[in-house]
Amino acid sequence: MTTPITIDFTETDLDALKDAGGTLAVIVTPEGKLDPAARRLNRLTKGTLARLVEADRFAKAKEGDAITMAFPAGMAADMLVVLKLSRRPSVEDARKAGASLAKVRGKGALTLCAGSTNKIEELALGLSLRSYDFTDHKSDDSDPAEGATVMVTKPDAATDAWADKAALADGVFFTRDLVNEPANVLTTVEFAGRLKALSGLGVEVTVLGEDELEQLGMRALLAVGHGSESPSKVVVMEWKGGGDEAPLALVGKGVVFDTGGISLKPAGGMEDMTMDMGGAGVVAGAMRAIAQRKAKANVVGLVGLVENMPSGRAQRPGDVVKSMKGDTIEVINTDAEGRLVLCDVMWYAQEKFAPAGMVDLATLTGAMVIALGHENGGVFSNNDAFANAFLKAAAAEGEGAWRLPMGQAYDDLLKSRIADMKNVGGRAAGSITAAQFLGRFVKEDTPWIHLDIAGVASVKSDTMLAPKGATGWGVLALDRLVRDNYEG
Ligand code: BES
Ligand code: MN
Ligand code: ZN
């Protein structure tokens, strides 16, 4: 388990700055205005900060950038960091400043003089998220980074504002750990166990085993897991923070490893399919954040946990399976398994909870990566207002999201000769036909959003708020969606 660093807010103590060890950071506005802490540091260092703000280096730095100065004279700290940031920064710039600090600070003590800078909790979120480091399987793991002390003019207000954001960081870390975890560690059983632990936060967690899934008629989901030694499971996480309104349902694809099954994937890059449970990971992280900050809303998370393996028991191309809904599916390609898992969990979610809205998340198609790369998650929906609410939430949280079209002509590509539908629609518009497949399992009156996160769940280079690997994309947007549309 990767735990976020602790971040404490205290009153500014100018006299403590001289002897503070480790890294000392201070905020300077783009206009070069020095606040009392910066003036004190300037005095201690015999005018270093005044020189810096006149220098080219400062002019060229962008809002949210960090400028480091090693072993400053006149003080105990090993490093002085200047964050270039306005008194009233945007959310994005505040987070960026925190992230910039996380990247340069080192692992020792950290003191940040933030004075009366606004959105300090957003800066702290950036610092927290960008400090993530997945070291569980490193045997030479050195100690984790020390916590941070942030000196501000109003520590109580900052502490309150931070509590909600800290819940988000916790949720994102939970997601990232799940997504980064290798498949021999994160089996379906282990995954269910980690979700069960959410009950400690007041989430009601139910684990459905294969017998129960069989009874419910989830044959499409079960067929995917048939070739694996790990038992298939559906985990239901209920957060009841609202009244008796219908809940928002979050449904996640949790393929703990996707070999492709009998339609085996090529060897190159197959190791990346440890992240094929990304949708379930985001649902888990969002539930954790929502529970941790005690959201006044009803939200239910449902994840289908399976492993897609080839074996003598595995389903074959050409098999016909019956979904819980009752529709039959011709499995043309066993590698289009995510939709087989989701269709049953989505149907179950609607039958059991009659949700006010349903969002499914899945690393569903390689075509999504081709279409939008790693910058935007794909958004598909049967409801403009619902889709727009999500797009707004994602934009507010800086998580790229882009809506793609759906339509009858795409749906027609799923026609099967021998069953009600086939599980693939051909190469053209692969992400859209996958969405159409899922759409067949959405009831007429259920507002629904499908998020194809194949390109954004885990990436090969650093992003603003995450080191390479799992990003946690979606946790912040889903939390914002709940906050802005389902609370009070
Ligand atoms: N898990 C994959 C999709 C994927 C690919 C996620 C790359 C992340 C990165 C999914 O199960 C899959 O294999 N999809 C197939 C569908 C095809 C057989 C219609 C694909 O995209 O090739
Ligand atoms: Mn697949
Ligand atoms: Zn898959």
Q: Which atom of ligand 1 is nearest to the CA of 258?
A: 1
Q: What are the pLDDT digits (tens) for 115-129?
A: 999 999 999 999 999
**Domain presence at residue 163:** no
Please identify every residue annotated as catalytic.
265, 339
Q: What does the pLDDT read at residue 357?
A: 98
Q: What does the pLDDT read at residue 222?
A: 99
Supply the residue whose CA is at minimum distance from atom 22 of ligand 1. 366
Residues 151 and 218 in one domain: no
Q: What does the pLDDT read at residue 488?
A: 78
Whether residue 407 has pLDDT greater than 80: yes
pTM tops 0.85, yes or no: yes
Whether 122 is in the pocket of ligand 1, judged by its Cβ within 6 Å, is no
Residues 267 and 355 in one domain: yes
**Domain presence at residue 355:** yes
Residues 77 and 140 in one domain: yes
**Domain presence at residue 2:** no
Q: What are the pLDDT digits (tens) for 270-317?
A: 999 999 999 999 999 999 999 999 999 999 999 999 999 999 999 999
* Mean pLDDT of the 49-63 span: 97
Whats the size of the chain, residue-wise? 488
For residue 359, give its domain range.
171-485
Residue 258 counted as an annotated binding residue: yes
Boundary residue ending a domain (155, 181, 207) = 155
Q: What is the CATH number of the domain that holds 238?
A: 3.40.630.10
Q: What does the pLDDT read at residue 230?
A: 98
**Domain presence at residue 299:** yes
Q: Is 213 helix (H, G, I), strand (E, B) or coil?
A: helix
Report how many domains make up the chain.
2
Residues 140 and 221 in one domain: no
Residues 64 and 191 in one domain: no
Lowest-pLDDT choice from 141-155, 162-176, 354-368? 141-155
Whether residue 82 has pLDDT greater than 90: yes
Element (H, E) at 52: helix 48-54
DSSP tally for the chain: helices H, then strands E = 16, 19
Residues 368 and 445 in one domain: yes
| Residue of 258, 361, 365 to test ligand 1 pocket, by largest number of atoms within 8 Å of CB | 365
Q: What are the pLDDT digits (tens) for 9-38?
A: 999 999 999 999 999 999 999 999 999 999
Whether 369 is in the pocket of ligand 1, judged by its Cβ within 6 Å, is yes
The confidence band for 219, taking pLDDT boundaries of 50, 70 and 90, is: very high
* Mean pLDDT of the 232-240 span: 99
Q: What is the CATH number of the domain that holds 36?
A: 3.40.220.10
Residues 246 and 348 in one domain: yes
Q: What are the pLDDT digits (tens) for 92-112?
A: 999 999 999 999 999 999 999
Residues 37 and 142 in one domain: yes
Return the structure tokens found at 303. 């994840």
Supply the residue whose CA is at minimum distance from atom 7 of ligand 1. 366
The confidence band for 142, taking pLDDT boundaries of 50, 70 and 90, is: confident
Residues 136 and 231 in one domain: no
Average pLDDT of the residues of the chain: 98
Task: Report CA Rg, the chain.
Answer: 24
Ligand number nearest CA of 456 is 1
Residues 223 and 291 in one domain: yes
**Domain presence at residue 216:** yes
Q: Is 352 helix (H, G, I), strand (E, B) or coil?
A: helix
Q: What does the pLDDT read at residue 140?
A: 85
| Residue of 256, 274, 364, 473 to test ligand 1 pocket, by largest number of atoms within 8 Å of CB | 364
Return the structure tokens found at 410. 């795409």
Whether residue 77 has pLDDT greater than 80: yes
Whether residue 143 has pLDDT greater than 90: no
- The tokens 């179950």 sit on which residue? 348
Which residue spans within 144-230 are E strands per DSSP? 148-152, 204-208
Spatial separation of the C-alpha atoms in residues 281 and 470, rounded to whole Å: 10
**Domain presence at residue 164:** no
DSSP 245: S
Boundary residue ending a domain (155, 186, 216) = 155
| 305 CB-near residues (< 8 Å, 6+ apart) | 188, 191, 192, 232, 233, 234, 235, 254, 256, 277, 280
